[in-house]
Structure 1
């Protein structure tokens, strides 16, 4: 395939080649990548329908009998348009990272359908995936584990070019140095090893590796959660600049609700393997409808602790096991609005109130569409309620002002 003109980021920063997912030394065969083109607004890039991933549980004599499944992802539907950033939030263990790996085909889906650019890649073979491997990239959560400690930075970033058979003008070393400069690193660090870099610098190396094939879709699996707070903003702003300049679509997986709101145009909220609410960021953060979304948003720190009308929802119990999830609505065991119908029927993910803004909610009894609807805190955990109602100890002689 002939070399074509590459889009640039900033001044002299073209982008060319990186593997779909290259953990410590892993490599994937792929054909020469076609540079990403400027996307048309609203053009569909990725469409996921009914996607499931069950991990088998074996037991019995010599562990040869299947006795159950871990339902990590159990019927997920969403789409991503070209150039769009979809944020995915939820508690640990809800299936966010597994969803990202299913999209990149690092994991084989148990059921459902994954379409990329109109092509069904759900169960595509290695050979069938080769032409699009370079278009779907992944930035891993742990920058300390996702880079091969035995390879230099130059080798890590240039290896995808070798895999894809790409020989850029000026040579691969020049290309790698350009990528290092693109992500804010010193090009003279070409021969350094990963252990010589800080966490934020290592994550920038991962970003450079992901950018090197001009991907059309990047799955960022909590790319800043392992970094110092002072570095997180730098990496997020770098990714945002990349998205705007190159028109790359993102599936941005994170726990930090503020970062997701800053980076993503649409938000999907996951709970126990399912998406319970999805919509644009203004409606999700300003007018949430699902009780779990209310609880999730109420847990976010508030810059103004004295602000009036702030609700604080504390959920009782723990997240149920994905091995044996509750019937009907999976959130009902912790929901303050649960009724019999919640155990009998699983609520569909639909638009409520006849709206046509793409805000979908899976709840039989949705909340009022505002985060300030209730005037009182909701405390569901009996132990917490008892602790708050218990008489406090006698005050000291002097007290510091609140």
Structure 2
């Protein structure tokens, strides 16, 4: 995306709080701060990855972008139009342009409908009448994702997990979207099938110019697929950069810990990266730590970390690499320190 081209998607201050019912030690429940004010920009045809531990808010962010969930606060601008609180009727023209591929290929397809019916539904809902008719379009979609067009008469239970996910991808493509949110699209698949699905998504991105928000916990997969990567922790983006900068020169302590868990991960100089074991548990999103959410597990935490939340700030001379940390530093500066529990990789 050029510097003068307007982004396809802009997310600013996006927040989602879920009410926490019930009581705890006699107190009324508060709110689960699933997404706690994040900013993202996605250009046309660009792929950005969202990574982090389970419960960090990745999937909720994806559902907010597709408006499957209503944001508590913030803006979601698609092609310049704020759709964060647009009515269902107002969203109708945009629904076809923003699609989603779900994590579980077994539960995301209606078992009572044939594949042909499943793929025809988006065309009917969005009132799309493609040249040659809808049946021909269904056959084209199946061929695009590597399935036999004759499979349109079969039911989901007749397919393997990888084939079902291909059908889910075909359904997302039916309305010719400009943006696809892929929520852990390969995590439920056999390892031998994951590469095939990732390569298929990459081919579709390159051939059709579709932008992707790719949600995953596997940093190796994200590195292969995404041009930019955003690291989330407890509802916030703590670091965002292009692929080479983040994997080669990360500056946030949490990002260092995630990268150290990637098999075969190396330092920028080619040496083996030491395994960083974070102490403690992930805090509850109902009552997150004050200031920096990561401070309770960070070996660099100081008093300021408890009183002031660090803004997502660009590194000196690197406007596209932003870090939310009061004391950002490259990995070399972090090795070794007695305050961390380390376990060297074999």
- Give the TM-score normalised by structure 2: 0.93
Instruction: Determine which of 296, 318, 324 is the counterpart of 2:281.
Output: 318
Partner of 2:264: 302
How far is 1:80 from its partner? 0.5
Supply the distance in 2 between the matched residues of 1:216 and 1:155 (Cα, whole angstroms): 23
- Give the TM-score normalised by structure 1: 0.80
Partner of 1:164: 126
Note closer, same or farther for the CA distance 1:206–1:379 as it changes in structure 2 (3 Å cut).
farther
Supply the distance in 2 between the matched residues of 1:246 and 1:43 (Cα, whole angstroms): 19
Is residue 295 of structure 2 the alignment partner of residue 332 of structure 1? yes
Kept after mapping to 1: 8 A contact 2:45/2:210: yes
Instruction: Determine which of 331, 336, 340 is the counterpart of 1:380.
Output: 340
Kept after mapping to 2: 8 A contact 1:310/1:372: no
How far is 1:281 from its partner? 0.6
Partner of 1:151: 113
Kept after mapping to 2: 8 A contact 1:40/1:82: no
Is residue 11 of structure 2 the alignment partner of residue 48 of structure 1? yes
Kept after mapping to 1: 8 A contact 2:313/2:323: yes
Kept after mapping to 1: 8 A contact 2:264/2:272: no
The farther-off stretch of 94-103 and 167-176 is 167-176
**3-state SS in 2 of match to 1:357:** strand
Note closer, same or farther for the CA distance 1:152–1:273 as it changes in structure 2 (3 Å cut).
same
Partner of 2:310: 347
Is residue 256 of structure 2 the alignment partner of residue 288 of structure 1? no
Partner of 1:97: 59
Residue deviations 1:12-66 (CA, integer Å, cap 9, x gap):
xxxxxxxxxxxxxxxxxxxxxxxxxxx8784311111101000001237xxxx96
Kept after mapping to 2: 8 A contact 1:48/1:113: yes
Partner of 1:237: 199
Partner of 1:133: 95
Supply the distance in 1 between the matched residues of 2:261 and 2:206 (Cα, whole angstroms): 30
Partner of 1:107: 69
* Stretches of structure 2 lacking an aligned partner (at least 5 in a row): none
Supply the distance in 2 between the matched residues of 1:346 and 1:374 (Cα, whole angstroms): 21
Is residue 34 of structure 2 the alignment partner of residue 76 of structure 1? no
Note closer, same or farther for the CA distance 1:92–1:162 as it changes in structure 2 (3 Å cut).
same
Note closer, same or farther for the CA distance 1:165–1:287 as it changes in structure 2 (3 Å cut).
same
Note closer, same or farther for the CA distance 1:188–1:51 as it changes in structure 2 (3 Å cut).
same
The farther-off stretch of 160-169 and 327-336 is 160-169
Kept after mapping to 2: 8 A contact 1:114/1:121: yes
Note closer, same or farther for the CA distance 1:169–1:264 as it changes in structure 2 (3 Å cut).
same
Partner of 1:25: none
Note closer, same or farther for the CA distance 1:54–1:110 as it changes in structure 2 (3 Å cut).
same
The farther-off stretch of 372-381 and 292-301 is 372-381
The farther-off stretch of 42-51 and 92-101 is 42-51
Supply the distance in 2 between the matched residues of 1:135 and 1:290 (Cα, whole angstroms): 34
**3-state SS in 1 of match to 2:20:** strand
Partner of 2:139: 177
Partner of 2:189: 227
Kept after mapping to 2: 8 A contact 1:313/1:378: no
**3-state SS in 2 of match to 1:297:** helix
Kept after mapping to 2: 8 A contact 1:54/1:110: yes
* Stretches of structure 1 lacking an aligned partner (at least 5 in a row): 1-38, 389-401
Backbone CA RMSD of aligned residues: 2.1
How far is 1:74 from its partner? 0.5
Supply the distance in 1 between the matched residues of 2:272 and 2:319 (Cα, whole angstroms): 27
Supply the distance in 1 between the matched residues of 2:79 and 2:307 (Cα, whole angstroms): 37
Kept after mapping to 1: 8 A contact 2:259/2:265: no
